[in-house]
Structure 1
Amino acid sequence: MKVQSILIFFAVSVIMTQFFSSCSKPNQEESLSQIKPNVIIILADQWRAQEVGYMGNTQIKTPNLDKLASQSLIFENAITTMAVCAPWRASFLTGQYPLTHGVFYNDKPLPNKALTMAEIYQEQGYATGYIGKWHLNGHARDEHPFSARDLPVPKDRRQGFDYWKVREVTHNYNNSFYFDENDVKHTWEGYDVFPQTDSAISYIQKNKEHPFVLMLSYGPPHDPYFSAPKEYQDMYDESKLEVRPNVPIAFQDSARKVMAGYYAHASAIDFAIGNLLDALDKAGVADNTILVFTSEHGDMLMSKGVLKKQRPYDEAIKVPLLVRYPAKFGAKSRNVKDPIGTPDLLPTLLGLSNISAPESIEGKDFSSELFAGKDLGNEAALIMLPVPFHEWKFQNGGREYRGIRTKRYTYVKDLKGPWLLYDDEKDPYQENNLVNNPEVKDLQNQLEAILLEKLKATNDTFLPADDYMTQYNYLYDMQDSVREANYMEVNR
Structure 2
Amino acid sequence: MIYYRNHKNQCSISHYVGLILLVLSSLTSTFAQKSSVAKPNVIIIMADDLDSRQLSCYSGKNLKTTHIDALAANGMKFNQIYTSEAMCVPTRASLFTGLYPVRHGSFQNHKPVYDNLKSVGHYLGDLGYRVGLTGKDHSTKPKTVFPFEIIKGFEPNCVAPTDDYELNDVKEYITRDDKPYCLFVMSINPHTPWTVGDSTEFDPKKLILPADWVDTPVTRKQYVKYLAEIRRLDNQVGDITRLLEETGQDKNTIVVFLGEQGAQFPGAKWNLWDAGQKSSMLVKWPGMVKPGTQTEALVQYEDITPTLIDLAGGKEIDGLDGKSFLPVLTGKSQRARQYAYGIHNNIPEGNPYPIRSIRDTRYKLILNLTPDAEYYNRFMMNAKKQDPESVWSSWTSKAASDSKAKRLTERFVKRPAVEFYDTQADPWEMNNLADNPTYQERINQYKQKLQAWMKQQGDEGAAIDTIYAKKP
Match of 2:289 among 326, 329, 336: 329
Match of 1:62 among 28, 51, 65: 65
Q: CA deviation at 1:285?
A: 2.8
Q: 1:217-236: per-residue Cα shift (whole Å, max 9, x none)?
A: 111101112x113xx32321
Q: CA deviation at 1:377?
A: 4.4
Partner of 1:223: 192
Tell me whether 1:200 sits opposite 2:174 in the alignment.
no
Q: CA deviation at 1:158?
A: 7.0
Which consecutive unaligned segments of at least 5 residues does structure 1 have? Answer: 1-6, 139-153, 175-190, 476-492
Partner of 1:432: 431
Tell me whether 1:253 sits opposite 2:253 in the alignment.
no
Query: Structure 2: how far apart are the matches of 1:359 and 1:289?
Result: 27
Query: Structure 2: how far apart are the matches of 1:374 and 1:381?
Result: 18
Query: Structure 1: how far apart are the matches of 2:230 and 2:429?
Result: 25
Match of 2:160 among 167, 172, 176: 172
How much identity, in percent, do the aligned residues show? 27
For 1:65, the aligned partner's letter is I
Contact 1:137 1:157 in 2 (8 A): no
Aligned residue for 1:327, secondary structure, equals: coil
Query: Structure 1: how far apart are the matches of 2:169 and 2:432?
Result: 47
Query: Structure 2: how far apart are the matches of 1:309 and 1:283?
Result: 37
Tell me whether 1:116 sits opposite 2:119 in the alignment.
yes
Query: Structure 1: how far apart are the matches of 2:102 and 2:332?
Result: 33
Contact 1:201 1:276 in 2 (8 A): no
Partner of 2:326: 367
Q: CA deviation at 1:433?
A: 1.3
Aligned residue for 1:45, secondary structure, equals: coil
Closer, same or farther in 2 for the Cα pair 1:69/1:372, shift >3 Å?
A: closer
Q: CA deviation at 1:425?
A: 1.1
Q: CA deviation at 1:60?
A: 1.6
Partner of 1:272: 236
Tell me whether 1:320 sits opposite 2:283 in the alignment.
no
| Structure 1 segment 81-160 matched on structure 2, within 5 A | 81-136=84-139, 156=143, 159-160=146-147
Query: Structure 2: how far apart are the matches of 1:300 and 1:163?
Result: 27
Contact 2:289 2:331 in 1 (8 A): no
Contact 2:88 2:261 in 1 (8 A): yes
Tell me whether 1:238 sits opposite 2:238 in the alignment.
no
Q: CA deviation at 1:64?
A: 0.8
Tell me whether 1:449 sits opposite 2:448 in the alignment.
yes
Report the TM-score when normalising by structure 2.
0.78
Closer, same or farther in 2 for the Cα pair 1:39/1:57, shift >3 Å?
A: same
For 1:204, the aligned partner's letter is I
Q: 1:141-181: per-residue Cα shift (whole Å, max 9, x none)?
A: xxxxxxxxxxxxx8x4572212433876341142xxxxxxx
Q: 1:329-369: per-residue Cα shift (whole Å, max 9, x none)?
A: 14x12212132112111112222222223224221122124
Q: CA deviation at 1:247?
A: 1.0
Q: 1:56-87: per-residue Cα shift (whole Å, max 9, x none)?
A: 11222201111110112111111000111111
Query: Structure 1: how far apart are the matches of 2:312 and 2:217?
Result: 47
Q: CA deviation at 1:37?
A: 0.9
For 1:342, the aligned partner's letter is Y
Query: Structure 2: how far apart are the matches of 1:167 and 1:377?
Result: 34
Query: Structure 2: how far apart are the matches of 1:213 and 1:243?
Result: 37
Match of 1:404 among 344, 352, 358: 358
Report the TM-score when normalising by structure 1.
0.75
Q: 1:242-287: per-residue Cα shift (whole Å, max 9, x none)?
A: 11222124xx323222221111111111112112112222322323
Match of 2:183 among 214, 231, 239: 214
Contact 1:108 1:136 in 2 (8 A): no
Contact 1:415 1:464 in 2 (8 A): no
Closer, same or farther in 2 for the Cα pair 1:266/1:214, shift >3 Å?
A: same
For 1:171, the aligned partner's letter is V
Query: Structure 2: how far apart are the matches of 1:198 and 1:218?
Result: 16
Contact 2:77 2:295 in 1 (8 A): yes
Closer, same or farther in 2 for the Cα pair 1:465/1:474, shift >3 Å?
A: farther
Match of 1:380 among 339, 345, 349: 339
Query: Structure 1: how far apart are the matches of 2:58 and 2:140?
Result: 34
Aligned residue for 1:431, secondary structure, equals: coil
Q: CA deviation at 1:293?
A: 0.6
Closer, same or farther in 2 for the Cα pair 1:446/1:308, shift >3 Å?
A: closer
Partner of 2:270: 310
Closer, same or farther in 2 for the Cα pair 1:158/1:453, shift >3 Å?
A: closer
Partner of 1:147: none
How many residues align? The count is 405
For 1:219, the aligned partner's letter is I
Partner of 1:45: 48
Query: Structure 2: how far apart are the matches of 1:352 and 1:266?
Result: 30
Partner of 2:7: none
Closer, same or farther in 2 for the Cα pair 1:412/1:349, shift >3 Å?
A: same
Contact 1:97 1:343 in 2 (8 A): yes
Q: 1:269-318: per-residue Cα shift (whole Å, max 9, x none)?
A: 111211211222232232322211103211153xxxx2651111111111
Closer, same or farther in 2 for the Cα pair 1:324/1:173, shift >3 Å?
A: farther
Which consecutive unaligned segments of at least 5 residues does structure 2 have? Answer: 1-13, 372-416
Contact 1:75 1:336 in 2 (8 A): yes
Query: Structure 1: how far apart are the matches of 2:242 and 2:151?
Result: 23
Closer, same or farther in 2 for the Cα pair 1:133/1:436, shift >3 Å?
A: same
Larger radius of gyration: 2
Q: 1:31-66: per-residue Cα shift (whole Å, max 9, x none)?
A: 86x231111110111012211000111222201111
Partner of 2:463: 464
Contact 1:243 1:255 in 2 (8 A): no
Query: Structure 1: how far apart are the matches of 2:54 and 2:314?
Result: 33
Aligned residue for 2:256, secondary structure, equals: strand
Partner of 2:262: 298
Query: Structure 2: how far apart are the matches of 1:110 and 1:121?
Result: 19
